[in-house]
């Protein structure tokens, strides 16, 4: 909360024409915290989905289900389809998690580069060429009001 208050005060000072009093450490702390929370949320979500898949696969190994499959052959085909779908879902979860890890790693690396070059402070101040471009031209497909 202190960081947000400092940022709000600095932005208010900036609006008055004063110099920005935010250093890279202050500016990047909320971003890094958000990135860490995102990594945690995505990881725990993937773990929950994996547990669900594991429970499904375990339930399909039930002795009672195996007896029922012998008595009802059509049930065997359904169990095989469910097993295949669960295994496919487990693979998809692993692939999604690997992709998310890669993307979050690139995001963290980009954030580091953004901070090291001072571009983060420039973006907050509104001095970057990109921020000027975005404020003078509407996004593609939109008309300027």
Say what the pLDDT of residue 99 is: 94
Residues ≥6 apart with Cβ < 8 Å to 126: 14, 132, 135
Is 135 among the domain residues? no
| Residue 18 structural domain | 2-122
Convert the pLDDT of each residue in 81-103 to its tens digit.
999 999 999 999 999 999 999 99
Q: Output the CA torsion sign for 26, 28, 33, 34.
A: positive
Residue ranges, the chain, pLDDT below 50: 19-22, 24, 128, 131-132, 134-136, 145
User: Residue 89 phi/psi, 5° resolution?
Assistant: -65, -40
Q: Is residue 137 assigned to a domain?
A: no
In-domain check, residue 70: yes
Q: How many domains does the chain have?
A: 1
Q: Which residues contact 79 (CB under 8 A, 6 or more apart)?
A: 60, 65, 69
Residue 88: predicted pLDDT? 97
Q: What is the pLDDT of residue 83?
A: 96
127, part of any domain: no
* Residue 109 maps to a domain: yes
């Amino acid at each position: 909360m202190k960081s947000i208050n400092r940022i709000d005060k600095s932005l208010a000072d900036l609006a008055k024409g004063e110099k920005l009093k935010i250093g890279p450490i202050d500016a990047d702390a909320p971003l890094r915290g958000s990135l860490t929370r995102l990594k945690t949320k995505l990881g725990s979500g993937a773990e929950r989905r994996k547990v669900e898949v594991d429970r499904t696969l375990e339930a399909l190994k039930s002795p009672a289900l195996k007896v029922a499959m012998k008595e009802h052959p059509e049930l065997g085909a359904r169990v095989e389809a469910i097993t295949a779908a669960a295994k496919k879902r487990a693979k998809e979860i692993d692939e999604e998690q690997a992709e998310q890890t890669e993307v979050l790693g690139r995001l963290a690396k980009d954030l580091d580069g953004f901070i090291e070059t001072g571009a983060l402070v420039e973006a907050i101040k509104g001095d970057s060429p990109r921020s000027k471009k975005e404020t003078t031209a509407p996004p593609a497909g939109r008309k300027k009001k």
